[in-house]
Chain A
Amino acid sequence: MSFEPKILSFFCHWCCYAAADSAGVARYQYPPNNRVIRVMCTGRIDPRFVVEAFYVGADGVLVGG
Chain B
Amino acid sequence: MAEVSRRILELVGLKVERFRIDWASAAEAPLFVKIVTDFTETIKKLGPLGEPEGLDMETIKLRLAAARQLTAKSRFRAAYGNLARELKKAGDYSPEGISRRVEEKLVPLIKKELLEAEVKALLGKGPVSIETLLQKTGATQEDIVPILEALSKRGQVEKQGEVWQPKAKE
Contact = CB atoms under 8 A, between A and B. Distances in A.
A59 B19 CA distance: 9
Q: How large is the interface on A (under 10, 10 to 19, 20 to 34, 35 or more residues)?
A: 35 or more
Interface stretch (B33-41, B121-129, B138-146, B161-169): B33-41
Nearest to A4: B44
**Looking at chain B's contact residues, is the secondary structure mostly helix, strand, loop, or mixed?**
helix
Given A22-B26, A59-B49, A64-B23, A54 B14 contact: yes
A33 B44 CA distance: 10
A16 to B, nearest CB: 5
A8 B80 CA distance: 23
Interface string A24-65: 001011110110000000100111101110110111111111
11 contacts: A5-B40, A15-B23, A18-B26, A23-B32, A47-B5, A48-B72, A51-B5, A54-B18, A55-B64, A55-B65, A62-B39
Interface of B: 1-2, 4-5, 8-9, 12, 14, 18-33, 35-37, 39-40, 42-44, 46-49, 61, 64-65, 67-68, 70-72, 80
